Amino acid sequence: MAADPFFEFLCRMGDNTLVLGHRVSEWCGTAPVLEEDIALANTALDLIGQTQMWLGLAGEVEGKGRSADDLAMLRDAWDFRNVLLTEQPNGDFGQTMMRQFLFDAWHVAMLDALTRSTDPRVAEIAAKAVKEASYHVERSGDTVIGLGDGTDESHRRMQAALDLLWPYVGELFVPDSVDDAMAEAGIAPDLTDLRAAYDDHLAKVMATATLTIPDSAFAHKGGKSGFRHSEHLGHMLTEMQWLQRAYPGATW
């Protein structure tokens, strides 16, 4: 773990949006319909834009001259601090949208809390990002409802997606020493304080979508500490970082 919990926290926020943004961008040109292709591309752009702000600030806080691009493109998988949920494969369209909603519901709650951060730079970034995240969660929630309460086949696929991804939700709310330090400093909220509102939001959307939330408290962990990532992250980074790794310092 980095010596500075603040740097670690900023990397977590930036890595979440970077990894999920790249995952969503993989749909560009292959989404089921043109409107979804454009919508997913715009979501990816929003997330990458947020990454630029979070990792840019992380580079400043670290004080070693690393830019947002350096942190995104020149770290190895074990240096990434994203939660495991964000690196899971797209699967079918329903699985992608379920993953998006499960993250969005947490993201908008987290960003809203961060707008009241004691660090003005964090509060400023959050104030910008929460506007985009509010749209993201509305759209992904509506899509989950539409597919969950749709045909027998779409319902089956959405329930399967929820069952598959549910074990990755818990990591979003399990605090560690970095989270505790940020909460104590007033920079970020206590993660456990976000869970009740998240569960309430989730319950309403899933009920409308006629989907059953799994009755399990098991949670995969290790992503945000870098201790354990899934095998999927390394493969994704190989594609994402290839150009910069092959041609160091290349510019357009």
Q: For 93-139, what is each residue's pLDDT tens digit?
A: 999 999 999 999 999 999 999 999 999 999 999 999 999 999 999 99
pTM: 0.96
- The Cα–Cα gap between 83 and 81 comes to 7
| Tokens linked to 88 | 């899971």
- Quick one: residue 69, left, alpha or beta (phi over 0 = left, psi -120 to 50 = alpha)? alpha
51 within some domain: yes
Least Cα distance to 100 among 150, 152, 44, 48 occurs for 44
CB 230 within 8 A of CB 84: yes
**Helical H runs in the chain?**
5-25, 34-62, 68-73, 84-87, 93-114, 120-148, 152-165, 177-185, 192-208, 231-246
Residue 49 has pLDDT above 90, yes or no: yes
23 within some domain: yes
Residue 33 CB neighbours (<10 A) = 9
| Interacting residues of 17 by C-beta distance below 8 A, sequence separation 6+ | 47, 48, 50, 51, 54
Count up the domains in the chain and report the number. 1
240 within some domain: yes
3: confidence class by pLDDT, cuts 50, 70, 90: low
251 within some domain: no
- The Cα–Cα gap between 56 and 188 comes to 18
113 within some domain: yes
How many percent of the chain have pLDDT more than 70? 99
180 within some domain: yes
Residue 2 has pLDDT above 80, yes or no: no
1: confidence class by pLDDT, cuts 50, 70, 90: very low
| CATH number, position 78 | 1.20.1260.10
171: domain range? 5-246
192-250: pLDDT as tens digits: 999 999 999 999 999 999 999 999 999 999 999 999 999 999 999 999 999 999 999 88
252 within some domain: no
Give residue 83's pLDDT: 98
224 within some domain: yes
- The Cα–Cα gap between 145 and 168 comes to 20
Give residue 60's pLDDT: 98
